[in-house]
Amino acid sequence: MAPRDLEDAIAQYIFDETPIYLIYIPEMKLVRRDVALRHFLTAVRDVTEEDIQIQCAELRLSRENVISNVVRKRVRYAIFSHRWLSEGEVTYQEMTGMVQLSDPDSQGFKKLQSFCEVASKHGLTFAWSDTCCIDKTSSSELDESIRSMFKWYRNSSICIAYLAQTIRVADLAKDLWFTRGWTLQELLAPKRLKFFGAGWAPLTMQDNDKADYHVIKMIERVTSISSHELNDFIPGSHDVAKRMTWAANRRTTRGEDMAYSLMGIFNVILPIAYGEGLERAFFRLVEAIIQTSDDLRIFNWAGRPAVTNHPSRALPSSPRCYVGQPYCPPIRREFSLTNSGLRIKLLILPAELASRTHDHVSPRQASFQSEIDGVSITDISVTGDFLSYGDPVQDATADVDSIVSDYALGVWNYVETPSGDPVLPHNCLAFMLMRTVEPVPVMSSNYHWSKNPWRKHSTTSFVEFQTEFSPDHVCPPLKRFIEHVSI
């Protein structure tokens, strides 16, 4: 008779950590968690109180840890990773008998059968596939499935990946499996991953292809993900910019899935709202990451900002905005996303636009000079689309016409002395900031120009520059240039 706390732990694990439905392979039918629970409770009847105590003594672990290990070893299921067919995949309704199976000889049913046969050969009784194990007519079950999918892949005993276009390891680079958005987490989450190619031939003789040197080196080359991260990936909000580049060239059928498929990788939760579009979904993803991170590298992007009803333009519109940006070391600074924008304390150095190029062949460049009290701070060249002073700004969110008024460097890696005075390091990292002015009516026929808040210049990533102080020039006091801004 299994100890009561072991049975309780199995029940909690199954209802909290495993899929809502599993395929019971011997009968090829879907079962709910309560059915799976009865099966696994039967499977641990041979575990006695004495067994638990022996493991606690031999492994020098707490009872809770020993029971957790037993649960994870006994509650086992296979999980499927594949590219969907354009038609013919087996549905939830067909698996539950709500509708008749459209074609028992379809490619979709044969694929599902082959997956279950492979799982059975690995000694498993249960399996999960995203084609038929989610009731997509239930919004609550669909939401739970999408939010939990990384966890389900992580907790599986083995992930069986079917690469229909691949015959040998050398073909991996050409397989479209590596171009799909959802397969990124299906690559990273499982501890044990086995690849099968065309005709369901295993690509290697390894039991776990994450342990195969040639497979891992090929995946490294295809995805730019290191072997360490492939084998020991830890979800979370660190290395955000780098992890975004892993997803940048992948595609999803629904735009919102580009954001939803990254939730598990960054260990955040979003309400699912199909119909909101990619940009709003991705904005919410980055917003959720910001709530768990103090690493400013999340803003090391360039391109088009997400256009939402939020006033900030400091958040990108897609993972592609992170591609090609210069490496930036980790740096921590307090910031928050408020209803006024990205709230952060910066050292704002005025920057004069000295020149700009309009070459359609090479990237557009602009030169800026920053000077305070006659002391040159830096001369820099920045890649991006810059307007001249007085040029109108095309902004779909603006209520009235505005024109460019000022540029500035918003330095965020400055150092504060004990007295609170800011000091510029030799190597500075900054946001490129832009401010506009717009006409505000004073009387019926008169206007005055009102300055708008600073905003991040959207087509530039972080700007890196070196200060130009010489022994004859001391940096002037900078405390007056410290501002809390909402960009």
476 and 345 assigned to the same domain: yes
228 and 282 assigned to the same domain: no
Q: Look at the chain and report how many structural domains it folds into.
A: 3
Q: Is residue 332 included in any domain, yes or no?
A: no
Q: Is residue 160 included in any domain, yes or no?
A: yes
Final residue before a domain boundary, out of 326, 355, 375: 326
Tokens of 217: 């080196």
304 and 368 assigned to the same domain: no
Beta bridge partners of 439: 449
For CA atoms 210, 215, 219, 225, the dihedral sign is positive
14 and 89 assigned to the same domain: yes
Q: Is residue 302 included in any domain, yes or no?
A: yes
Beta bridge partners of 484: 345
Beta bridge partners of 434: 407, 455
pLDDT at residue 56, rounded to an integer = 93
381 and 417 assigned to the same domain: yes
How many CB atoms neighbour CB 87 within 10 A?
A: 9
176 and 60 assigned to the same domain: yes
Q: Is residue 392 included in any domain, yes or no?
A: no
Q: Between the CA of residue 196 and those of 22, 159, 169, 193, 207, what are the distances in Å?
A: 21, 11, 10, 10, 12
Q: Do residues 33 and 14 lie in contact, with contact meaning Cβ atoms separated by under 8 Å?
A: yes
Parallel, antiparallel, or unpaired for β 402-411 and 427-441?
antiparallel
Q: Is residue 199 included in any domain, yes or no?
A: yes
How many CB atoms neighbour CB 239 within 10 A?
A: 17
Parallel, antiparallel, or unpaired for β 193-196 and 158-162?
parallel
Interacting residues of 425 by C-beta distance below 8 A, sequence separation 6+ = 413, 414, 415, 467
pLDDT at residue 397, rounded to an integer = 45
Residue 371: alpha-carbon gap to chain centroid: 39
Interacting residues of 419 by C-beta distance below 8 A, sequence separation 6+ = none
pLDDT at residue 396, rounded to an integer = 45
Tokens of 133: 């194990």
Q: Is residue 249 included in any domain, yes or no?
A: yes
Final residue before a domain boundary, out of 278, 294, 326: 326
pLDDT at residue 199, rounded to an integer = 93
249 and 296 assigned to the same domain: yes
128 and 10 assigned to the same domain: yes
Q: Is residue 292 included in any domain, yes or no?
A: yes
**365 is in which domain, residue-wise?**
341-386+400-486
405 and 465 assigned to the same domain: yes
40 and 154 assigned to the same domain: yes
For CA atoms 394, 400, 403, 407, the dihedral sign is negative
Cα–Cα distance for residue pair 7/67, rounded to 1 Å: 9
Q: Which of 329, 326, 375 is nearest to 350 (CA)?
A: 375
H/E/C letters for each residue in the chain? CCCHHHHHHHHHHHHHHCCCEEEECCCCEEEEHHHHHHHHHHHCCCCCHHHHHHHHHHHCCCHHHHHHHHHHHHCCCEEEECCCCCCCCCCHHHHCCCCCCCCCCCHHHHHHHHHHHHHHHCCCCEEECCCCCCCCCCHHHHHHHHHHHHHHHHHCCEEEEECCCCCCHHHHHHCHHHHECCHHHHHHCCCCEEEECHHHCECCCCCCHHHCHHHHHHHHHHHCCCHHHHHCCCCCCCCHHHHHHHHCCCECCCCCHHHHCCHHHHCCCCCCCCCCCHHHHHHHHHHHHHCCCCEHHHHCCCCCECCCCCCCCCCECCHHHHCCCCCCCCCECCEEEECCEEEEEEEEEEEEEEEECCCCCCCCEEEEEEEECCEEEEEEEEECCCCCCCCEECCCCCCCCEEEEEEEEEECCCEECCCCCEECCCEEEEEEEEEEEEEEECCCCCEEEEECCCEECCCCCCEEEECCCCCCCCCCCCHHHEEEEEC
Final residue before a domain boundary, out of 205, 235, 265: 235
Interacting residues of 166 by C-beta distance below 8 A, sequence separation 6+ = 172, 174, 175, 177, 195, 197, 198, 203
Query: Which backbone phi and psi does 183 adopt, to 5 degrees?
Result: -75, -10
214 and 283 assigned to the same domain: no
- Identify residue 406 by its one-letter amino acid code: D
Q: Is residue 334 included in any domain, yes or no?
A: no
457 and 316 assigned to the same domain: no
Four-point Cα dihedral 136, 138, 140, 143, nearest 10: 10
Q: Do residues 52 and 154 lie in contact, with contact meaning Cβ atoms separated by under 8 Å?
A: no
Tens of each residue's pLDDT in the chain, 487 residues = 789 999 999 999 999 999 999 999 999 999 999 999 999 999 889 999 999 999 999 999 999 999 999 999 999 999 999 999 988 899 999 999 877 776 777 899 999 999 999 999 999 999 999 999 999 999 999 999 999 999 999 999 999 999 999 999 999 999 999 999 999 999 999 999 999 999 999 999 999 999 999 999 999 999 999 999 999 999 999 899 999 999 999 999 999 999 999 999 999 999 999 999 999 999 999 999 999 988 888 988 888 888 888 888 889 999 999 998 877 777 788 899 988 888 999 999 999 988 887 665 556 788 999 988 878 888 888 888 888 776 777 654 444 467 888 899 999 888 888 888 888 888 888 989 988 888 777 766 667 778 888 888 877 878 888 886 654 555 778 888 998 998 8
